[in-house]
Structure 1
Amino acid sequence: MNFIIAPTLEAIKQLYNEEVAESLINIQETRKEFDGQVTIVVFPITKISKKSPEQTAQAIGEYLVANVTEVTAFNVVKGFLNLSIAESYFLQHFNDEILADSFGYYAPNGKKVMVEYSSPNTNKPLHLGHVRNNLLGYSVAELLKAYGYEVTKVNLVNDRGIHICKSMLAWQKWGNGETPESSGLKGDHLVGKYYVIFDKEYKKEIEALKAEGQTEEEAKKNAPLIKEAQTMLQQWEAGDEVVVTLWKTMNEWVYAGFNVTYNNLGVDFDKFYYESNTYLLGKDTVDEGLDKGVFFKKDDGSVWIDLTADGLDQKLVLRADGTSVYITQDLGTAKMKYDDFGMDESIYVVGNEQDYHFKVLFLILEKLGKSWAKGLYHLSYGMVDLPNGKMKSREGTVVDADELIADMIATAQEKTEDLGKINDFTEDEKSELYKNIGLGALKYFLLKVEPKKRLLFDPNESIDFQGNTGPFIQYTHARIKSLLSKAGYQANVGTPKPEDLLPVELDMIMLLAKYPAELEIAAKAHSPASLANYLYELAKLFNKFYHEVPPIVKTEAGEAKQFRLNLSKKTADVIKAGMLILGITSPERM
């Protein structure tokens, strides 16, 4: 509806003899309880008109009706000018723009963006928290791609450190040569099993030492298992052949397991980075910071940055013994990624428990004068809970991603079979449908909530063929495809010009017209939630349209029928395209 801006500016110039900036014109969609489709908020204009909001709105409304063909009537509600737009405008917009193959397509904008997500540890399988991370990262990447960016999807794998040594040591002690093949376990599950075993045995040693009189902290430090794990880490860093070989073997098990989960989730990556290759990075950056006076060295030789003037605190960037801390390697990794890809923006998809870390990281890079630091963005997201509460991985009670996926597919099968509409499906078609519905439910439920919000995930609530769910939108798409098939739909047949648009048909055109803007809003906010909820509103409105218009299939051939079929087809196209950005497949039949 931005076509109304220019004539409104002209109205102000003619009525009040003053030229104003376009930003002064606030255009909104008219609220349902009032007549009209477009509303101009006139309060800011009263500074120019020197009249009351009602008088200002009346004058501008009269001018627009007299001078703009598309404006057929107006009404004033306080400081809001509601405009009625001619049906011919909407029909022309539908025919010329919405029906075009290029509708919703953004040309490449020449900018590069990197989206880093997943970032798993190689000592345990992916869990529910990882699922939200992966789905959010993938969807944001697809959103930015749809908005015209050149996107690189990156996974920085945490494949070293004391955590992986714990699994390795436990496997050495109690594994008896067990492998994924001999156990029938996915590799990430097998390694995670020994991480849990380590923790249980470690706790036994702590309790034994406490019984001998040591404090909790003393016992944690002195337990033989943790000392052995620390020694193993030192051996790994020294390149001990036996330890490095075991580390490579167990990590390969994990990567094979991760790949199965990633494939089932439908997420992918263009580039993998590994902490084992990046943990020594950043020391050159520390030297650079010292040379520039951004960092300072304490008497013990440790290197720090003072961020108190920025509302933060002093931050250690290099230990006294010359070893790195996390911020050191993150500084180095950020530089390496930029050197590799030269991206304009870099998005880190990481939980909100790391908010402070990224504030510090980005601020340090800015102070070091890195031109690309302004393009760094932390996409922070909240925790995911289940109805029975939060779970902890060390206790072996984590909400496993693979089990969750399997449960979602099983629930989708049960609910779909209850509907009894797939008797003519082959077994392969049924299997594919259950997977699409189950994963569609999971993805939509996690993505329809703003990332920053903590959410409660209820699997049963997510798989519902009514309400704000993935399956409801998928079912709407399948309903449209069935309708088009029964009607023998052919694209671009005739010029659709029904004599009168029904109110619900006008609503459909207006909502479809919003799709490109919804893509832009979601991409700029790095949030798939607004797009997800737009698709729900579109599906909901189509179902209203489906029930209110005369039966399309039975309608005699003509312009009204072709128009309604075109309207249905474009709705299906937008649902399919939008859901794919969320990583969700829209079945042709359900």
Structure 2
Amino acid sequence: MDFIIEAVVKAIKHLYEADVAAKDINLQETRKEFEGQITLVTFPFTRVSRKSPEQTGTDIGEYLLANVPDISAFNVIKGFLNISIADSFWLNKLHAEILSDDFAAAKSNGKKVMVEYSSPNTNKPLHLGHIRNNLLGYSVAQILGAAGYEVIKANLVNDRGIHICKSMLAWQKFGNGETPESSGLKGDHLAGKYYVLFDKAYKQQIEELKAAGQTEDEAKKNAPLIKEAQQMLQKWEAGDEDTISLWNTMNGWVYDGFAVTYKTLGVDFDKYYYESNTYLLGKDIVEEGLASGVFFKKDDGSVWIDLTEDGLDQKLVLRADGTSVYITQDIGTAQLKYDDYKMDESIYVVGNEQDYHFKVLFLILQKLGKSWAKGLYHLSYGMVDLPSGKMKSREGTVVDADDLMADMFSTAKEQTEEMGKVDGFTEEEKDKLYHTIGMGALKYFLLKVDPKKRLLFDPNESVDFQGNTGPFIQYTHARIKSVLGKADYKPSANNKVTTLDGVERDLLVILTKYPQMVTEAAAAHSPALIANYVYELAKAYNKFYHEKSIMQAEDESLKQFRLELSAASAKLINKAMGLLGIDVPERM
């Protein structure tokens, strides 16, 4: 509300002959129990008014009422000036801005941002944690795009390393030539099967060595399987043809499987990076840092950086045998990404278990003199739990993404059919609706929570058609589209309504906030702000719908106005849900 801030600056100058900066004026939403839409905190101005907060508020309120046509009333509660904005202001917002096609279409801000998300390992399928990661990354990218950024959606595939070799080795030993075609398994599920088999066989060898007198640490290092996996990694880095051939084959299976999962989830990428292509660049940068004194070499030949003066620790950046570690790859990838796009900001969507890793990575890049390192940002998010507890992929207890999405489809089907919401639908239309509701429920439930918070995902609760859920908002959209269809609604430039009822005004106020919410969500990298905004919008529309007759309005002007309010609500529900990657049905 810039015009109010400007008016308050003028009021204080006129009333008290004092200058205040616009940034020092604190406007808030008026609390629901008081009249008004905007509240000014008056305490800071008592030093220039030399009056009580209440009298200061009254002085400013009287000035605003006399000099600002869009202000219709005010009241003062202690040190808070509650300002009522004229109905004409809100009506003008509706007709001049909200109903226009380009409402909230941000102009380019000239800044480029990369959002890296998903980042799967090619030794197992995606799981529930990956779902939160993908949904967060995709939604943040959508929000930043809506806020005027040029966005590059990137996926860094962890396609090399000891964990990949574990799956490869287990397939060699136990696979008998099994393929996705012969097994009927998606390729990523097949690779995951052998990752689990490796872990079981490895644990058995550890127990055997412990029974023979070795300590657990000795047994873990000396188990034949882990030694073979380490040898395979060294062969891979040396370019051994057979090892590379198997790696290409199994990775190909996994990529085909991932593509199916991504399509079902409704996420995509503009650019793929592969750690197999970036680790060598990372090793080169480590060598440069070693020469310049940023890194140091220990007696065993391993390369480290000492970050103890920065409150961190010593960090390994290259193993004694010359093989790279995660941080090596990430150094190379960060350089490659910047070389490719020269972006202003690079966002890493990675769970909070990696908080320390990214502190170290960003600090190393700064010490290496990378000017772009200041634009690196770790979007750290909390883990997702189910009532059954935390997931462990190597033990085969992971909540598979494909299985979970199939369960969401089934749950949506069951609950929708119980409510009788699919009468007159063809089977194809029903399946599309169940997918839309099931995925909407899943996405909304995971995105409505602040990214930093750990959350407990309850599939049944997420598909509830009441409360703060995706299906409730989707149903609200379908309800509005039904009303507009029955009324054969068409926009009109000629509207004679000049006054608003309370629920009409409340709904309009929420509609006007949409551009501000996009800006705030982009700045905070938080889809939760959009999710909770669109829930408040859906609630406000339903209150309006139940309290005000649309089709039986007193006259045609009022009917047309309420249809316009409905059309605007449907449009912004659609836009906001789209920023979350959620489709909204036309009917249900």
Backbone CA RMSD of aligned residues: 1.5
Q: TM-score, normalised by structure 2?
A: 0.97
CA contact (8 A) 1:91 1:497 kept: no
Change (3 A) 1:586 1:63: same
Alpha-carbon distance in 1 for matches of 2:519, 2:337: 26
Percent of paired sites with the same residue: 73
CA contact (8 A) 1:305 1:314 kept: yes
1:523-556 alpha-carbon deviations (Å, 9 max, x no partner): 1100100100000010011000000002x12336
Q: Structure 2 counterpart of 1:531, which letter?
A: I
Tell me the residue number matched to 1:367: 367
Q: Secondary structure at the match of 1:81?
A: strand
1:167-217 alpha-carbon deviations (Å, 9 max, x no partner): 111111221111111111100111111111111112222222222222222
Q: How does 1:280-299 map to 2 (within 5 A)?
A: 280-298=280-298
Q: Please report how far the alpha carbon of residue 321 of structure 1 lies from its aligned counterpart in structure 2 after TM superposition.
A: 4.8
Greater Cα shift, 77-86 or 251-260 = 77-86
Alpha-carbon distance in 2 for matches of 1:71, 1:323: 69
Change (3 A) 1:52 1:291: farther
Q: Please report how far the alpha carbon of residue 322 of structure 1 lies from its aligned counterpart in structure 2 after TM superposition.
A: 4.3
Change (3 A) 1:390 1:301: closer
Tell me the residue number matched to 1:542: 541
Alpha-carbon distance in 2 for matches of 1:173, 1:294: 43
Change (3 A) 1:206 1:291: closer
Q: Structure 2 counterpart of 1:267, which letter?
A: V
Q: Please report how far the alpha carbon of residue 8 of structure 1 lies from its aligned counterpart in structure 2 after TM superposition.
A: 0.8
Point out where structure 1 has 5 or more consecutive residues left out of the alignment: none
Q: How does 1:103-114 map to 2 (within 5 A)?
A: 103-114=103-114
Q: Structure 1 counterpart of 2:505, which letter?
A: L
Tell me the residue number matched to 1:474: 474
Q: TM-score, normalised by structure 1?
A: 0.97
CA contact (8 A) 1:494 1:559 kept: no
1:134-183 alpha-carbon deviations (Å, 9 max, x no partner): 01000001110111111111111111111111111111122111111111
Q: Structure 2 counterpart of 1:72, which letter?
A: S
Q: Structure 2 counterpart of 1:423, which letter?
A: D
Q: How does 1:106-255 map to 2 (within 5 A)?
A: 106-255=106-255
Q: Please report how far the alpha carbon of residue 271 of structure 1 lies from its aligned counterpart in structure 2 after TM superposition.
A: 0.9
CA contact (8 A) 1:117 1:134 kept: yes
Tell me the residue number matched to 1:13: 13
Alpha-carbon distance in 2 for matches of 1:50, 1:242: 85
Q: How does 1:222-371 map to 2 (within 5 A)?
A: 222-298=222-298, 301-371=301-371
Which runs of 4 or more aligned residues in structure 1 lie more than 6 Å from their structure 2 counterparts after TM superposition? Answer: none
Q: Structure 2 counterpart of 1:503, which letter?
A: G
Point out where structure 2 has 5 or more consecutive residues left out of the alignment: none
Q: Please report how far the alpha carbon of residue 338 of structure 1 lies from its aligned counterpart in structure 2 after TM superposition.
A: 0.1
Q: Please report how far the alpha carbon of residue 70 of structure 1 lies from its aligned counterpart in structure 2 after TM superposition.
A: 1.9
Tell me the residue number matched to 2:392: 392
Alpha-carbon distance in 2 for matches of 1:530, 1:200: 43
CA contact (8 A) 2:118 2:155 kept: yes
Tell me the residue number matched to 1:438: 438
Alpha-carbon distance in 2 for matches of 1:386, 1:284: 43
Alpha-carbon distance in 2 for matches of 1:85, 1:386: 46
Q: Please report how far the alpha carbon of residue 494 of structure 1 lies from its aligned counterpart in structure 2 after TM superposition.
A: 4.2
Q: How does 1:508-527 map to 2 (within 5 A)?
A: 508-527=507-526
CA contact (8 A) 2:115 2:152 kept: yes
CA contact (8 A) 2:234 2:323 kept: no
Greater Cα shift, 415-424 or 359-368 = 359-368
Tell me the residue number matched to 2:559: 561
Alpha-carbon distance in 2 for matches of 1:575, 1:588: 12
Alpha-carbon distance in 2 for matches of 1:321, 1:166: 19
Q: Please report how far the alpha carbon of residue 328 of structure 1 lies from its aligned counterpart in structure 2 after TM superposition.
A: 2.2
The number of residues matched between the two structures is 588
Tell me the residue number matched to 1:496: 495
Alpha-carbon distance in 2 for matches of 1:319, 1:47: 64
Q: Structure 1 counterpart of 2:538, which letter?
A: A
1:575 counterpart = 2:576: no
Alpha-carbon distance in 2 for matches of 1:156, 1:4: 47
Tell me the residue number matched to 2:531: 532
Alpha-carbon distance in 1 for matches of 2:498, 2:232: 80
Q: Secondary structure at the match of 2:569?
A: helix
Q: Secondary structure at the match of 1:280?
A: helix
Tell me the residue number matched to 2:582: 584
Q: Secondary structure at the match of 2:395?
A: coil
Q: Please report how far the alpha carbon of residue 327 of structure 1 lies from its aligned counterpart in structure 2 after TM superposition.
A: 1.8
Alpha-carbon distance in 2 for matches of 1:430, 1:210: 57
Q: Please report how far the alpha carbon of residue 444 of structure 1 lies from its aligned counterpart in structure 2 after TM superposition.
A: 0.2
Q: Secondary structure at the match of 1:451?
A: coil
